Amino acid sequence: MDEKKILVVDDEEKIREMYSQVFSSSGYLVTTAKSAEDAIKILENERYWVMFLDLNLPEMNGIDLCRQIRRDYPMTICYAVTGYASLFELHDCREAGFEDYFTKPASLSDLLDAAAHAFTKIERWKKR
Amino acid sequence: MKILIAEDDLTSRTILQAILSKWGYEVIATADGEEAWAAFQETDAPQLAVIDWMMPGMDGPTLCRKLREQKRKDTLYLILLTSKDEREDIVTGLEAGADEYISKPYDNGELRARVNVGKRMIMLQNELREREKLQGVLEMAGAICHELNQPLQSVSGFSELLLMNMETGTPNYKKLKNIKAGIERIGDLTRKIMKITRYQSKPYLNESKIIDIEKASRYEEKGE
């Protein structure tokens, strides 16, 4: 794989900024979107394999966004990061196609581990 | 369950008290309407009552009416004991706020059945009230935690980011470590709050109560 690109979707600017810094400092190329609609526009022009999605987004929520992404690009690995955790949502996340689920405040090392794990998996799929 | 009896006749009151105690009720016996009214104003007052119609001073229907006018938070189930069994009187009693009536002389089986209906009704109402409270608690907890977790994520993320780029062992590194530990504690707390599954309170200052987060958030496995 040429570049390790990550798409982050969160409606809060500070959090997008924080994600950008942490993933960039670990060598990833990060793009951020503030809504599901923006994310969909970005995906129309560019392919991303790994994404971190907030669940509580202004218009379309993260669950529906994940469902749509997995329908259009089935190989994508999506992670949910949410401030509104309940057992019910975990079940929903798995059903929508999320790889894993992190509750805010999520530890950055957990998120970095998740990203590394996702890219290892994708590399393996590509070599198949 | 507590049950109040209001009966001015000593013999009838003693018999009623004996029967109800035998059936497992915690009986609070009062001799007239005023005394019964006072007992209903205590904290943790009984919710179930057998009230004699005819009493000196405040009679049964008046007591019922006054209690209903109180707009109490607890559900009361009031049974009027009456020697009058004419239709209009029964209507008067029920309209005054009684839930049920028993005509004297009563049969023990009938008394037991009617008191049991009241007990069942109160238990259902109490359960419903607890569920409503829980619903309110859950909505509030969810909203607060969500709002709290957003800024918490940036504080926690940025401090972790700083730690990553800092030389370990320096005084600032240690200070930041402490900040990070504090944030993690708040994070654990918001996670726990969001897992609140039942209404469980514990005593707090001045007889008020607060939610026991530890107990109320404990997840009880229901089986996958």
Question: Is A107 in Cβ contact with B149 (below 8 Å)?
Answer: no
Residue-level pLDDT at B5: 97
Q: Are B58 and B33 in contact (CB under 8 A)?
A: yes
Cα(B207)–Cα(B204) distance, integer angstroms: 6
The confidence band for A88, taking pLDDT boundaries of 50, 70 and 90, is low
Write the DSSP string, B99-128: SEEEESSPPHHHHHHHHHHHHHHHHHHHHH
Of residues B176 and B85, more confidence is placed in B176
| Domain A5-127, CATH homologous superfamily name and number | Response regulator (3.40.50.2300)
Kindly identify which residue of chain B lies nearest to residue A22, measuring between CA atoms: B161
Distance from CA of A74 to the nearest CA of B (A): 27
DSSP 8-state secondary structure symbol assigned to residue A77: E
Residue-level pLDDT at B224: 37
Domain boundaries, chain A: 5-127
Consecutive H or E run containing B49: strand B48-52
Per residue in B82-139, pLDDT tens? 886 666 788 889 999 999 999 888 899 999 999 999 999 999 999 998 888 888 877 8
Average pLDDT of chain B is 88
Residue-level pLDDT at B223: 43
Query: Which residues in chain B have their CB less than 8 angstroms from residue A19's CB?
Result: 157
B165 touching chain A per CB within 8 A? yes
Residue A34 corresponds to which tokens in the numbers above? 């503030």
